[in-house]
Amino acid sequence: MKKDYRTLEPNFVPARKSKKKIAGATIYYIVGITLSLFFILPLLYMFSTSTKTEEQIAFASGTVMMFIPDFSNIGHFFDNYGVVFGEYNIWKYAINSLIYAAIVIVFNVIVNGLAGYVLAKFDFPAKGFFNFIILFLIVVPIETSIIPLYSIAKNILGLKKNLSVLAVILPSVISVFNIFLFTQFFSSIPKEYEEAMHIDGSSRVRVFFDLILPLSKPIVATTAVFTFIGVWNDYIWPTMVLPNRGDDSWPLYPIQAALTSIQSIEEITSGQVMASLVITSLPIFILYAAAQKYIVKGFGTAGLKM
C-alpha cells in the first residue's frame, strides 16, 4: 500500500522544480532537437530524392515534400537504385571496398593490438619516448605524409597490376590512433589475469590472443568500426596507387572512386546520384548501429587511463 507522506508529516511540502530548471530543460531540448534536424534533414532529403524522377524533384523543390519519399508509384520506387547497380556497376566497387576493409580490419586489430599490448604491459628502455611519438603522430595530418608514402610504395611494390592492391592495404594496417586506444584499454586490465596464465605456462603471445583480446571486445569493436569507416571513405590514396582498368575487366577502385566517376557522367540524374550516396552511406549506418554500445564502452574504458 502506498504511503501518503502528507499524513505523516503535516509540514511536508512536495518537491517542485524551480522555474530556472524548467527553463534550462526546455532550452536543452529545443537546442537538441534543432541540432538533430540539421543532421537528419539532409539524410531525409538524400533518401527522398533517390526515389524520385527529375520532374518530381523539381516539383517538390522548396516545399516540405522534398524531404518525403515518393510513395505514389511503389513499382518505380527503386528505379534509380536499379540504374546505379545495373548500368554503373556500383556493386563491384562496393565489393572491392568490403574486401579491402575486411582485410585491413583483421590485420589492424592484430598489429596495432600487439603494439598496444607491448606499450601497456612491457617495461623496456625508451618506452616513454615511443609513447610520445605515438601522441605526436596522432596530431600530424595524413596529407603531410602521403607523398613520401607514395614514393615508398612505388619503389617497393612498383604499383603494377595486382601488387597495387597491397599498396592500398598495407599503409592502412598501421594506425597510431588505434595503438593509442589499445594501449589505454590494455592498461586497465589487471595484471593478476596475466600472472595466472603465466603460472600455467602460457606464453606472451598466447596470453594476448587467449586473454587480452577476448577481454577487449569493446575496444576491438571500436577500432574495427573506425577502421572500416576510414577504408570505406578513402578516395585519394586508392586512386593514386591503383591502375585504371577498362570496362572489360573487374575494376580495382573502391566505392568512393566509383561515386566520383558516376557523378561525372553527363546523362546521370540527381535521383541516381542520391541513390549512389545512399548505397555508400548505408553500410556505415548499419555497422555503427550494431556496434554502438561497444564503441561507447570502449571509449569510456580507454579514457580511464588518459
Domain range summary for the chain, segments of one domain joined by +:
5-74, 84-305
Taking only the tens place, the pLDDT of each residue in 92-123 is 899 999 999 999 999 999 999 999 998 888 88
For residue 253, what is the enclosing H or E element? none
Lookup: cell for 96: 572491392
Distance (Å, whole) CA 85 – CA 214: 39
User: What pTM did the predictor assign?
Assistant: 0.80
pLDDT computed for residue 300 by the predictor: 61
202 class by beta-carbon count within 10 Å (0-12 exposed, 13-18 middle, 19+ buried): middle
**Residue 150's pLDDT band (cuts 50, 70, 90):** confident
288: left (phi over 0), alpha (psi -120 to 50) or beta: alpha
% of the chain beyond a pLDDT of 70? 87
Taking only the tens place, the pLDDT of each residue in 29-47 is 899 888 888 888 888 889 9
In this prediction, residues 141-159 reach a mean pLDDT of 80
Distance (Å, whole) CA 251 – CA 65: 38
Q: Name the residue type at position 2.
A: K
| Rounded (10°) CA dihedral 149, 150, 155, 157 | 100
Q: Which CATH class is domain 84-305?
A: mainly alpha
